Amino acid sequence: MRKADTKGWNTRTRLVHEGVRRSQYGEVSEAIFLTQGFVYDTAEQAQQRFETPGDDEFIYARYGNPTVRMFEDRIAALEGAEDGFATASGMAAVNGALMSLLKAGDHVVSARALFGSCLYILENVLARFGVEITFVDGTDNDAWVAAIRPDTRVVFLESISNPTLEVIDIKAVSDAAHAVGATVVVDNVFATPIWSRALEMGADVVVYSTTKHIDGQGRCLGGVVVGTRDYIRKTLEPYLKHTGGAMSPFNAWVMLKGMETLDLRVRAMTTAATAIATALEGDARLSRVIFPHLASHPQHEVAKRMMDKGGTVLSLDLAGGQGAAFRFLNALQIVTISNNLGDAKSIITHPATTTHQRLSEEQRAELGITPGLVRLSIGIEDQDDLLADIRQALDAV
Ligand SMILES: *Cc1c(COP(=O)(O)O)cnc(C)c1O
């Protein structure tokens, strides 16, 4: 249980009460301030606000908004971070975190196993502006040490990779990065803010797609970046407020309400994911069951140190290849075929033909994305119903 630095509250209390800003009406549920602008009483007040805006003083929703600020304060409190900045999507958050830190000539070291759009930002955007990128096998601590140079400015990684669920030792990578003064940026979606303490492990900047577990009910896109107040307000905010990646107040409200139940949902999903992974291990129709807290996981020891529990996603490799994987997907009756994760509904994805279709066969092989691999995001349905559904679909294969 994480204790708040100031109030001594535990996680669940903070998820419900942190960041609340009440209007003069004293509403119980957080208000949606669906407004782009704010009225000033006098010309002098407008001048003052543009010169030195106070914490609770807003100018324009691209810069900040009371509902968005409530969400930023709540997630920062959960993470034990000094501050946060909410964005229109997870990719706006990743793009902002990286672009705000880098300039032409800088060197970046990144894990190779990345979400497709993160890879695009590094390979197709940053590289175009003269940023040099070295990719490494994220699970190989020696490879990080060898790749990090005195001029390395940023180290980027996804703490748990998609879809093969490799776990990166954030502490070892951060130690190597900090030795040369590099900033460690961690995309922490799969680890969830409930099970991972990336900042405590050494990360400087943590990014979430709030589209996933934080909304958790498949409604809105969103993202957030957390870190020191200095980084968030002096480096990130100027970049984001001028380039327009702001989160909408409506989406911030959905995220705030999502956070109230985040711990409950993630715990239930994790309990079911753990039970299902354990029950399926050893099934002859599966050549691999990948789940970070199974003893058979290649980075099991690292996973135990990085996360309190194994998370909400598991991957299965159907021994019969793509044909078996497709028959399995098509036979499922509760688990739906889609590509989100962290949702209340259990969702299954065949990465080789969807999310990772763009990669060459060699690239997929290198990342362990075999034709039989499926990624299963466990929702909040009854665990026995889910296991029965998965078993009947395996029988249909
Ligand atoms: C979904 C996801 C993103 C992108 O988030 P969006 O909200 O879809 O923009 C980035 N990184 C990881 C690991 C993700 O799962």
In a domain, 4, yes or no: no
90 Cβ inside 6 Å of ligand 1: yes
86 lies in the same domain as 200:
yes
CA–CA distance, 124 with 114 (Å, rounded to integer): 14
Q: Are residues 282 and 236 in the same domain?
A: no
Is 331 within the bounds of a domain? Answer: yes
User: Same domain for 63 and 187?
Assistant: yes
Centroid of ligand 1 to alpha carbon of 254 (angstroms): 17
Report the C-alpha gap between 377 and 355 in whole angstroms. Answer: 14
d(CA 362, CA 369) in angstroms, rounded, equals: 10
List the domain range (segments joined by +) for residue 18: 11-260
pLDDT attached to residue 8: 85
Ligand 1 site, residue 189, Cβ cutoff 6 A = yes
> What is the DSSP code string of 52-110?
S--TT--SBTTT--HHHHHHHHHHHHHHT-SEEEEESSHHHHHHHHHHTT--TT-EEEE
**What was the pLDDT predicted at 55?**
86
Are 16 and 122 found together in one domain?
yes
**Does residue 5 lie in a domain region?**
no
Note whether 202 and 279 are same-domain residues: no
**How far away, in angstroms, is 188 Cα from ligand 1 center?**
10
Distance from C-alpha of 77 to C-alpha of 368, rounded to nearest angstrom? 36
Note whether 88 and 207 are same-domain residues. yes
- The pLDDT value given to residue 5: 54
pLDDT on residue 1: 36
Distance from the CA of 54 to the center of ligand 1, in angstroms? 32
pLDDT value at residue 364 = 93
Question: 281-315 as b/e, with b when 16 or more CB fall inside 10 Å?
Answer: beeebbebbbbbbbeebebeebbbebbbbbbbbbb
Domain with 376 in it: what CATH number? 3.90.1150.10
Do 104 and 231 share a domain, yes or no?
yes
Pair 268, 345 in one domain:
yes
In a domain, 37, yes or no: yes
Supply the pLDDT for residue 7: 76
How far apart CA 230 and CA 4 sit, in angstroms, is 20
Which residue's CA lies nearest to atom 1 of ligand 1?
A: 209
Q: Which of 260, 278, 298 is the last residue of a domain?
A: 260
Same domain, 298 and 388: yes
Residues 218 and 311 placed together within one structural domain of the fold: no
The verdict on residue 313 lying in a domain is yes
Residue-wise pLDDT tens for the chain (397 aa)? 344 456 789 999 999 999 999 999 999 999 999 999 999 999 999 999 999 998 899 999 999 999 999 999 999 999 999 999 999 999 999 999 999 999 999 999 999 999 989 999 999 999 999 999 999 999 999 999 999 999 999 999 999 999 999 999 999 999 999 999 999 999 999 999 999 999 999 999 999 999 999 999 999 999 999 999 999 999 999 999 999 999 999 999 999 999 999 999 999 999 999 999 999 999 999 999 999 999 999 999 999 999 999 999 999 999 999 999 999 999 999 999 999 999 999 999 999 999 999 889 999 999 999 999 999 999 999 999 999 999 999 999 9
Q: Which of 91, 121, 340 to mutate to test the pocket of ligand 1 (most atoms within 8 A of CB)?
A: 91
Last residue of a domain, one of 245, 260, 275: 260
Whether 356 is covered by a domain: the verdict is: yes
Residue 148 lies in a domain: yes
User: Using a 6 Å cutoff on CB, does residue 187 contact ligand 1?
Assistant: yes
Asked if the structure places residue 189 within a domain, the reply is yes
How many domains are there within the chain? 2
Q: Tell whether 150 and 195 lie within a shared domain.
A: yes
Same domain, 147 and 233: yes
